[in-house]
Amino acid sequence: MTGKENDLAASNTTRFYYGYVIVLAAFIVIVCSYIIRYSFGVFFKPIVIEFGWTRAITSGAYTLSWFFEGLLGIAFGGLTDRFGPRAVLSFCGFFMGLGCVLLSQLSATWQLYVFYGIIFGIGISGVWVPLVSTVARWFKSRRGMMTGIVLSGMGISALIGAPLANWLISSYGWRDSFIIVGGLVGCIIILASQFLKRAPLSIEQEANKHVNNNADLNSTVVEFSLRKAMSTRQFWLIFTMFFCFGFGSFSIILHIVPHATDIGISAASAANILAALGGAMILGRIILGSIADKIGARQIFIIGLVIFSVTLILLLYTRELWLFYILCALQGFGHGGMGASESLLIAEIFGLRSLGIIMGVAGFGFTIGAGVGPLVTGHIFDISSSYDIAFILNAALCAIGLILTLLIRTKNYR
């Protein structure tokens, strides 16, 4: 813990609560980080067309970036628990910007895997877990709402990222677009990260006084270490459910634009489909994140996975643009609610003591799914020239995730 953080504890007053600065800074970092993640589907087809690569090969770099995000997310979660988020996010912002700028020089598949899969993957690995665990420490009784507000930045990313990327590519080409996006994103993330601080223990204890008088979510929860958490059935139910969630959600996020253009929808309209998903994600983060504070995170995952299972099947028969908007907006709403509830679910069951590292390991399930899903979906398209089987597989996995969620128990768990 730094001296500045200790000073913050001593100077804490009821007139202004620094937790709201944390929320704003984290929101900005999320928006910038996931603009690159969510707009990759718009860059996807121009790269495939220029180099003649298969969709599975191109998706493989996306998969590799998710592998690094999940694996290093564990390490960065532990580093955030110990040292705080500022240094972690500054380091990661630099790597995200660097990876994006290097993509402008792309000429071979190995470069795609190194620049996006490894360098960008290292950068984005320190975003999710450090930010959501930091917000969870600054807020207790409104933890779901504040996490939802921060993670609504991911919806903003999808809402503006896809149309922005499409406009940049049409105006400057995909190479210069990577330079523009990478330079801006890297600089903004590093600047915003300077306002992030790990909440000192005294502020964690007093956080409720600055939000509302609701009961503390952790009042009946045993404080688990990572080893103790991993020894429970609950942890592995969550891990596997997160895998199913990641598999289904990011298969669609990467492949919905190529799928829509394959059936005759224009590139601009296809990008707007992804934007609609992002806009609905914002609502899901805030609305379902707030509801999670009242009904619990588990119920939000039940709602979200039902939405995913149904909409993935309906996408098999969708050919009209307006129906794409509706189905993807529903997916975005469910995705947003589940994303906002992840840290809440972990905190409800395992407490705050090791929240960062437990979230990192449990979240590895999500990142494995988010990485493998787009790769498998792309491979199925390459061998069948259709996404039908892939969408059925995604729907089946989301249904399995729903069953696993029904088996999770959060109340009075010991």
Domain borders along the chain are 16-407
CA distance 261 to 270: 6
How far, CA to CA in Å, does 405 sit from each of 3, 135, 273, 297, 393?
Answer: 42, 24, 29, 10, 18
Would the pLDDT of 141 be above 80? no
CA distance 338 to 302: 9
> In this predicted model, what pLDDT tens digit does every residue of 172-188 receive, in sequence order?
999 999 999 999 999 99
> In this predicted model, what pLDDT tens digit does every residue of 142-155 receive, in sequence order?
777 787 788 788 77
pLDDT at 411 (0 to 100): 57
- Under a CB-based contact definition with an 8 Å cutoff, are residues 254 and 62 in contact? yes
3-state secondary structure 341-364: HHHHHHHHHHCCCCHHHHHHHHHH
CA distance 80 to 89: 10
Would the pLDDT of 288 be above 70? yes
For 229-284, the DSSP string reads: HHTSHHHHHHHHHHHHHHHHHHHHHHHHHHHHHHTT--HHHHHHHHHHHHHHHHHI
- Under a CB-based contact definition with an 8 Å cutoff, are residues 364 and 241 in contact? no
- Under a CB-based contact definition with an 8 Å cutoff, are residues 321 and 265 in contact? yes
User: Which residue's entry shows tokens 């787009």?
Assistant: 374
**Domain 16-407 grouped into CATH 1.20.1250.20:** yes
> In this predicted model, what pLDDT tens digit does every residue of 46-86 receive, in sequence order?
898 889 888 888 888 888 888 888 788 778 877 887 778 89
pTM reported for the whole predicted model = 0.71
Q: Identify which has the larger pLDDT, 202 or 387.
A: 387
> In this predicted model, what pLDDT tens digit does every residue of 192-241 receive, in sequence order?
999 998 765 555 444 444 444 444 444 455 678 888 989 999 999 999 99
Q: How many helices (H) and strands (E) does the chain have?
A: 17, 0
Rounded to an integer, the average pLDDT of 317-324 is: 89
